[in-house]
Amino acid sequence: MSMDKPIVAQARGYLLSRARWSPFEIIFWIVAFASIFFLQSKHLILTEIAILGLFALSLDLILGYAGIVSLGHAAFFGFGAYVAGLLAKHGIIKEPVLAMLASGVAAMALGFVTSFLVLRGSDLTRLMVTLGVALVLREIANRLDITGGADGLQGIVMEPVLGHFAFDIFGKTAYVYSLVTLFILFLVARRIVNSPFGLSLRSVKGNPLRASAIGINVNIRLVAVYTIAAGYAGIAGALLTQATQFASLSVFDFERSADVMLILIIGGTGYLYGGLIGSVLFKLVQDYLANVNPQYWQFWLGLVLVMMIMFGRVYGAVMATIIYVACLALKLSFMQSIIITIIAVAVLGLMRPQILQITSRITERAKAALDGVKAKFRRSA
Amino acid sequence: MLTILFDGIAYGMLLFVVACGLAVTLGLMNFVNLAHGAFAMAGGYITVVAVNRLGVPFLAALPIAFLFAAVIGVVLERTLYVHVYAKTHLEQVLFTIGLVFMSVAAVDYVMGSQQQFVTLPSYLQGQINLFGIGIGRYRLLIIAVCGLLTIALQFSLANTRFGSRLRAAVDDARVARGLGINVNAVFAITFAVGSGLAGLGGALGAEILGLDPHFPLKFMIYFLIVVTVGGTSSITGPFIASLLLGIGDVAGKYYAPQFGSFIIYIIMIVVLIWRPQGLFSRAVAK
């Protein structure tokens, strides 16, 4: 027993050191909350970003920490959105915060039930099953009378938040409400992933067989984290309904599940901020592109995805941007842009081995330079 | 009743022709190609352009659709897909979704977002009565073409030298290379044929499935159901699965329209949970 104590203390010290707040995190949240006062005209899009960030955070919990791939995470988002809409429309729970929590619990229940579907099978099976679940829910919402079918859920009127703060036309209440919810849920998620439970999740992600060999009950943990993540997604959906006072079939769309996956690819998985940073970037770019050409912006989104998978996150994004900017600078019509882009992608694909050599050399140099700066900094300090 | 069965078989055959390319790439090459529907769409649109605008006879447009999709397939395979074979399923999925987004937006811009129709020649319109069953002539053509293709495909995979080379390349690419098989060429040809078949299916199916820019997204799930339910270790599995899916879908929409496509999604989930390797496959140790 005497041998145990130092190990336990060591483990506790390790966990605590992982959980410490870094300056970067503090700055991140200060900036986020400062935006309430400084970016007043942008509250509508900021609300969308906060909601999307929460949704991405939810996917990060299962993908980044437990390694469960999903192409149907919109199932829980949409479920929460419809539950919140129905609660408000029929006056069952009038107060938004309570209604949001109720939607989260409902989504958790759905997550718990469907979690048993993702326990088995390969990644491919999981992708298919989650996609199927989202499609089934979409079909249900489409068919039922109570959900308004293809017209969506209309005529939702929201009561003031906590009985005091009414939703205003500029979206200030909605933004503060979404941001505070995001922050609180983020703190909870942070606590979860830094707990021993979170650590065991990582081991499950790393190697499920070995995790079970050292006494971790893999299935219980997967069910638990899937349920929690479903609750998060449900709350994100509920926020969307409450902020827009509308819920439509699009909450279940395949594109929504694909977008949130893309956001995590942009921001990176497994450190919680990936989803938040990714959704800021994603939404800003999407907003910009949709303003430039509203109907066809998905073309550029697709280009970013393709390049990122081919050349890695950073270089892929840079190359996609270069192609796009080149098309803009040459004042090409969309038709010409399509042709140029396709040719550019094909050529880049053909030259991929050479390009990868160059990019890896750049990465090495950048790393060396960064290390040099760090060493200098340490010496002077 | 029998007419519905007949329509269902035609629908299923069509799904099979489009999806069998996916079955090959997914099952044999272990590559998840969600952009497969885009090749079908390419075939469909080239048929529309050829028949409606250039006045090519419908039957002559079918091989054009096959070639067109096959050429796109082989170009994409050589330039892009080769780099993604070794990546994880998730990355492959995201990569091909990106391609789908691009193709949807590009086609939407070039061809417009409305649904396209192929003008069928008069000898393919209408029904013939056979033993008191009304049989659409066009659907009869589909069944004939697709049936022949299925037999040819099964034969070439099982009994030809190319088929055995392909199976060898898939089993162990390194050893196959050591035996002097040009694995890259084998994969490229396979991919081209798969894409070509999808294009042909899209051309034939423009009338029945409906052709608009969102075709790849709308039917993606159908193709995936065919492949996942049918299993990927043989051609017969997806064939039976697509027939069942076709008949089930047509009958379901006719007899129980309020459920819509609901039933087939549920069936897919149940099958995947029950037999993750697919309904008709032996357990594969991969």
A240-251: pLDDT as tens digits:
998 888 888 888
Facing A136 at nearest CB: one of B84, B103, B266: B266
Could you say which DSSP state residue B52 is in?
A: I
Reply yes or no on whether the pLDDT at B173 is more than 90.
no
**Share of residues in chain A with pLDDT > 70 (%):** 98
Partners of A295 on chain B (C-beta within 8 Å) are 105, 108-109, 113
SS3 B36: helix
| Best residue of B31, B272, B281 to probe chain A, by most A CBs closer than 10 Å | B272
pLDDT, position A331: 82
Give the lowest-confidence range in A197-201, B192-196, B204-208.
Answer: B204-208
SS3 A268: coil
Is residue A4, in this structure, part of any structural domain at all?
no
| ipTM of predicted complex | 0.84
**Is the CB of residue B25 less than 8 Å away from at least one CB of chain A?**
no
Domain match, A282 and A322 both: no
The Cα–Cα gap between B13 and B57 comes to: 23
pLDDT, position B143: 87
Greatest mean pLDDT among A34-43, A105-114, A194-203, A266-275: A105-114
pLDDT, position B259: 67
Facing A305 at nearest CB: one of B95, B258, B262: B95
The Cα–Cα gap between A159 and A199 comes to: 41
* Greater model confidence, A72 or B136: A72
Is residue A302, in this structure, part of any structural domain at all?
no
Facing B83 at nearest CB: one of A131, A310, A342: A310
Could you say which DSSP state residue B283 is in?
A: P
Is residue A8, in this structure, part of any structural domain at all?
no
Is residue B127, in this structure, part of any structural domain at all?
yes
Q: Tokens 């993604």 correspond to what residue? A: B84
Q: Note whether A310 contacts B260, CB cutoff 8 Å.
A: no
Domain match, A33 and A150 both: yes
Domain match, A370 and A250 both: no
Q: Note whether A304 contacts B98, CB cutoff 8 Å.
A: yes
> How many Cα atoms are found within 13 Å in the side-chain-facing hemisphere of A345?
31
Is residue B277, in this structure, part of any structural domain at all?
no
pLDDT, position A49: 93
pLDDT, position B181: 87
Reply yes or no on whether the pLDDT at B279 is more than 70.
no
Supply B279's token pair.
């309904």
**Is the CB of residue A357 less than 8 Å away from at least one CB of chain B?**
no
Facing B269 at nearest CB: one of A133, A142, A349: A133
Reply yes or no on whether the pLDDT at B281 is more than 60.
no
Task: Report pLDDT digits (tens) over A302-360.
Answer: 898 899 888 888 888 889 989 988 888 888 888 888 888 889 888 888 888 888 888 88
| Best residue of A253, A309, A333, A335 to probe chain B, by most B CBs closer than 10 Å | A309
Is residue A365, in this structure, part of any structural domain at all?
yes
Greatest mean pLDDT among A57-66, A89-98, B169-178, B209-218: A57-66
Q: How far does chain B reach from its first CA to its final CA, in angstroms?
A: 42
Q: Note whether A301 contacts B79, CB cutoff 8 Å.
A: no
pLDDT, position A8: 82
Is residue A126, in this structure, part of any structural domain at all?
yes
Number of domains in chain B: 1
Strand partners, B129: B134
Domain match, A328 and A243 both: no
Domain match, A202 and A318 both: no
Is residue A64, in this structure, part of any structural domain at all?
yes
Domain match, A342 and A283 both: no
Domain boundary among A236, A269, A287: A287
Q: Note whether A302 contacts B91, CB cutoff 8 Å.
A: no
Domain match, A251 and A323 both: no
Reply yes or no on whether the pLDDT at B256 is more than 60.
yes
The Cα–Cα gap between A246 and A81 comes to: 9
**Share of residues in chain A with pLDDT > 90 (%):** 26
Domain match, A132 and A178 both: yes
Could you say which DSSP state residue B125 is in?
A: S
Containing domain of residue B68, as a range? 2-214
Facing A335 at nearest CB: one of B79, B100, B109: B109
Domain match, A53 and A201 both: yes
Categorize the per-residue pLDDT at B230 as very low, low, confident or very high, splitting at 50, 70 and 90.
confident
Q: How far does chain A reach from its first CA to its final CA, in angstroms?
A: 42
Reply yes or no on whether the pLDDT at A33 is more than 60.
yes
Is residue B190, in this structure, part of any structural domain at all?
yes
Nearest Cα residue in chain B from A130: B269
Q: Note whether A335 contacts B110, CB cutoff 8 Å.
A: yes
Partners of A298 on chain B (C-beta within 8 Å) are 101-102, 104-105
Domain match, A216 and A341 both: no
Window A:210-229, CB contacts with B under 8 Å: none
Give the closest-approach CA distance of A153 to chain B in angstroms. Answer: 19
Torsion, Cα B230 B231 B235 B238, to 10 degrees, reads: 20
pLDDT, position B233: 66
On whether the CB atoms of residues B203 and B65 are closer than 8 A, the answer is yes
Task: Report pLDDT digits (tens) over B61-89.
Answer: 889 999 999 999 999 988 888 888 888 88
Categorize the per-residue pLDDT at B260 as very low, low, confident or very high, splitting at 50, 70 and 90.
low
pLDDT, position B286: 37
Partners of B32 on chain A (C-beta within 8 Å) are 124, 127
Domain boundary among A287, A321, A343: A287
Reply yes or no on whether the pLDDT at B106 is more than 50.
yes
Is residue A354, in this structure, part of any structural domain at all?
yes
* Greater model confidence, B35 or B269: B35
Task: Report pLDDT digits (tens) over A81-140.
Answer: 999 999 988 888 878 889 999 999 999 999 999 998 888 777 778 888 898 889 889 888
Task: For residue A82, count CB atoms less than 10 angstroms from its CB and return exposed for 0-12, middle for 13-18, buried for 19 or more.
Answer: buried
pLDDT, position B166: 83
Give the closest-approach CA distance of A214 to chain B in angstroms. Answer: 25
Give the closest-approach CA distance of B121 to chain A in angstroms. Answer: 32
Tell me which H or E stretch contains B41: helix B36-48
pLDDT, position A234: 95
Q: Which of B238, B146, B196 is nearest to B43 (CA)?
A: B196
Task: Report pLDDT digits (tens) over A214-237.
Answer: 888 889 999 999 999 999 999 999
- pTM over the 0.80 mark: yes
Containing domain of residue A280, as a range? 21-287
Averaged pLDDT score across all residues of chain A: 87
Nearest Cα residue in chain B from A124: B89
Number of domains in chain A: 2
Domain boundary among A272, A287, A302: A287
